[in-house]
Amino acid sequence: MGVRFLLLFIVGLCRAQYDPNTRPGRTSIVHLFEWRWADIALECERYLAPNGFGGVQISPPNENLVIGDPSRPWWERYQPVSYKLCTRSGNETEFRDMVTRCNNVGVYVYADAVINHMCGGNAGAGNHSTCGSFFNAKTKEFPAVPYSAWDFNDAKCKSRSGDIEDYRDLSQVRNCRLVNLLDLALEKNYVRSRITEYMNYLIDIGVAGFRIDAAKHMWPGDVKAVLEELKDLNRKWFPAGAKPFIYQEVIDLGGEPITDSQYFGNGRVTEFKYGAKLGTVMRKWNGEKMAYLKNWGEGWGFVPSDTALVFVDNHDNQRGHGAGGASILTFWDARLYKMAVGFMLAHPYGFTRVMSSYRWPRYFQNGVDINNWVGPPSNSDGSTKSVPINPDTTCGNDWVCEHRWRQIRNMVIFRNVVDGQPFSNWWDNGSNQVAFGRGNRGFIAFNNDDWYMNVNLQTGLPAGTYCDVISGQKEGNTCLPYTHPWLEDPSS
Ligand code: QV4
Ligand code: CA
């Protein structure tokens, strides 16, 4: 008995960080990219909890470099100066208030942990940082942590420039600078302890897990050494022994020595093939068609479902950064985007993350959006604008709020209702009309062909009358009128 029990316990421990810790019946999270803490707290209470969202991914909460040229790009938040909790999203008081209020309504908080590096090596010296902390990028001094030159990898990097030059060289990818960002030496106990101190501080406040930024740029064993020092979650909101949910940003589209499976031991990984392939299918590129989605998931070469964090787009590839390429669907492609997000939320594969964005003034030159750096909607003093809610429930101030679009919100609820039910009753017309069920709890049909879909289908549902929650809206026991699917109202 003793041995068997011990084995189960160990296995249990090893699986814990795959568990999102969401409340039962809440099966998705939303990335409220660049939102202010005060607005996230409000959204948890007024919208995310009532509509069954399990959690929210927040932008990096730690102090970052303030960049003047270009003016306050969104990516300045991926250039840490310290682990103090002040950014454009708010200060520590506002951060604590947000975590408490979201936790109190069962919408848990997942922090974007930028722990591979500090700011760019060319950032100079001074206190142009979101808390006003002094730093010197040239001498690699960050007194507000503190870090000094000893704590960085440069001596270990073998590339000519000190930056990553060749992604086929596994050591370069992990020991050299990602686009010149000062690369932390995570094999050092001192560096590890500064990072675990920061992450445990967030756990004590009530955070439920972490997105590990740039995970492929750290040795899996170093990441593991950090994670092993993390505390259990705060028992004010979570059961005893609950571990932080871990999902690692590992871009693996194949062809590199670094693969996502090298990181499975630490937690889930972001499956970037998912969004890239789904975009190609919905756009009908390269002869792809929805009929091929019959074996979607591991059948398409993706990581095992219980190790996958999936998404249609993310904050990088919706604007041409990172990976996924031109096939990635975003809110700019409203109709296909809703179809792709709907498919993701209906299909059982992976743990799902919905993107929530802001509009920026795209300006294409030679096919590249030269404004892809533009930061969140801001006031003249550089502060981030609030998120006003319009009478029709959409968001103002150029916040897109895809998570509030009727089709997407209703499919988040659909995923909750069918949770645990098998993928069943697949049908396709050999082209781009497909349908499938989730056991006896839900059924969905897609028509991405240019002709009407006119077919009788085996749904697996008990006999009865059901509400089409893509085109209509279930309110109590009534189903609001069916609107013609061609009436594209992207922000609804
Ligand atoms: C530039 C040149 C360098 C040069 C340097 C010198 O590219 O070669 O040495 O100037 O001045 C910004 C600028 C970038 C600049 C860099 C350093 O865009 O041009 O280097 O700062 O000054 C985000 C943005 C990056 C941004 C970075 C830091 O995407 O453009 O760089 O923040 O501000 C890979 C990784 C993957 C990564 C993805 C984008 O495997 O992990 O690239 N994704 C994550 C985050 C992403 C973030 C980072 C990693 C870095 O999702 O948002 O990068 O934390 O695929
Ligand atoms: Ca590194």
What tens digit of pLDDT does each residue of 80-95 get? 999 999 999 999 999 9
pLDDT, one tens digit per residue, over 260-291 is 999 999 999 999 999 999 999 999 999 999 99
- pLDDT tier at 487, thresholds 50, 70, 90: very low
324 dihedral zone (left: phi>0; alpha: psi -120 to 50; beta) = left
Of 147-156, 438-447, 477-486, which range is least confident? 477-486
How many whole angstroms separate alpha carbon 144 and alpha carbon 82?
6
Q: Is the dihedral of CA 201, 205, 211, 213 positive or negative?
A: negative
Helix, coil or strand: residue 486: coil
Encoding tokens for residue 114? 């930028």
Nearest to 158 by CA among 185, 178, 135, 176: 176
Helix, coil or strand: residue 398: coil
177 C-alpha to ligand 1 centroid (Å): 10
Q: Which residues contact 466 (CB under 8 A, 6 or more apart)?
A: 443
Q: Which ligand 1 atom sits closest to the C-alpha of 65?
A: 33
| Amino acid 486: pLDDT | 42
Encoding tokens for residue 174? 């992990």
Q: Provide the whole-model pTM.
A: 0.96
Of 13-22, 52-61, 385-394, 473-482, which range is least confident? 13-22
The enclosing H or E element of 102 equals helix 92-104
- pLDDT tier at 11, thresholds 50, 70, 90: very low
pLDDT, one tens digit per residue, over 27-67 is 999 999 999 999 999 999 999 999 999 999 999 999 999 99
The response to whether residue 251 sits with its C-beta less than 6 Å from ligand 1 reads yes
**Mutate which of 321, 353, 368, 373 for ligand 1 pocket (most atoms within 8 A of beta carbon):** 321
Per the annotation, the verdict on 39 as an active-site residue is no
The response to whether residue 260 sits with its C-beta less than 6 Å from ligand 1 reads no
The distance in angstroms from the start CA to the end CA of the chain is 57
Q: Which residue is listed with tokens 């972490």?
A: 210
Cβ(197)–Cβ(85) under 8 Å? Answer: no
Encoding tokens for residue 376? 């969140």
Encoding tokens for residue 273? 């093939």
Which residue out of 151, 183, 213, 260 is catalytically annotated?
213
Q: Which residues contact 172 (CB under 8 A, 6 or more apart)?
A: 157, 158, 159, 164, 165, 166
